[in-house]
A = this chain, B = another copy of it.
Amino acid sequence: MERTTNFPSLTFVFLLLLLLLVLECSATPIPKIRARPQPCKRLVFYFHDILYNGHNSKNATAAIVGSPAWGNRTILSGQNHFGNMVVFDDPITLDNNLHSTPVGRAQGFYLYDKKDIFTAWLGFSFVFNSTEHKGSINFAGADPLMNKTRDISVIGGTGDFFMSRGIATLSTDSFEGEVYFRLRVDIKLYECW
């Protein structure tokens, strides 16, 4: 008697477990809705942008390559530089010192995209080739640069950062007129392969 009451319940639990497994493994694509997680990797870097202004061709790491009809490519245009596109190859450092040994290069472009306030849009990569990091991290997103911090997307990576995705929080660590600025980049990866 005892066994006949026990075993059905055991069987029931088995079936339940199997059902759970089958449900979980089924091909039905259930959209993933998740709470905000902790990063699986976190990295902080600085990069340094020295914009060509007609007098600094030796030191410049960036140059205006596009401008609206009312501007030119030597001086950032009026209206908050709206329409200026800049290409850069900036040194990446571990601290906020321009003269520290670079651990890589920030390469890509930014463009100023608002007439009544400074905002930018960025598409660039961190390209590493140091003993510590090899590979690249690719970024894209809006940079409302008057905000103390602003978030852009990590849209991919290669090498050590194979298939990465995440968020990079930018903050302007320093700027000197229209020639030099330094960005702090706090990279939080949420997909690490």
A185 within 8 A of B: no
The minimal Cβ–Cβ distance linking A76 to chain B, given in whole angstroms, is 12
Q: In the complex, A193 Cα to B188 Cα: how many Å?
A: 15
List residues of chain B with CB within 8 A of the CB of A141. Answer: 125, 136, 138, 156, 158
Q: Are B142 and A140 in contact (CB under 8 A)?
A: no
With A14-B17, A140-B156, A154-B156 already in contact, 15 other A-B pairs whose C-beta atoms are closer than 8 Å: A24-B24, A29-B36, A31-B39, A64-B69, A65-B67, A66-B87, A83-B87, A87-B113, A88-B113, A89-B114, A121-B124, A125-B141, A138-B153, A140-B140, A156-B165
Question: Which of B3, B13, B82, B89 interacts with A89 by CB under 8 Å?
Answer: B82
Question: Can you pick out 15 interface pairs between chain A and chain B where the beta carbons lie within 8 Å of each other?
Answer: A10-B10, A20-B25, A29-B35, A52-B69, A63-B68, A63-B83, A64-B68, A65-B68, A68-B87, A82-B89, A85-B109, A87-B113, A89-B113, A89-B114, A127-B144
Question: Which of B14, B32, B72, B162 interacts with A191 by CB under 8 Å?
Answer: B32
Q: In the complex, A193 Cα to B167 Cα: how many Å?
A: 13
Q: In the complex, A127 Cα to B120 Cα: how many Å?
A: 12
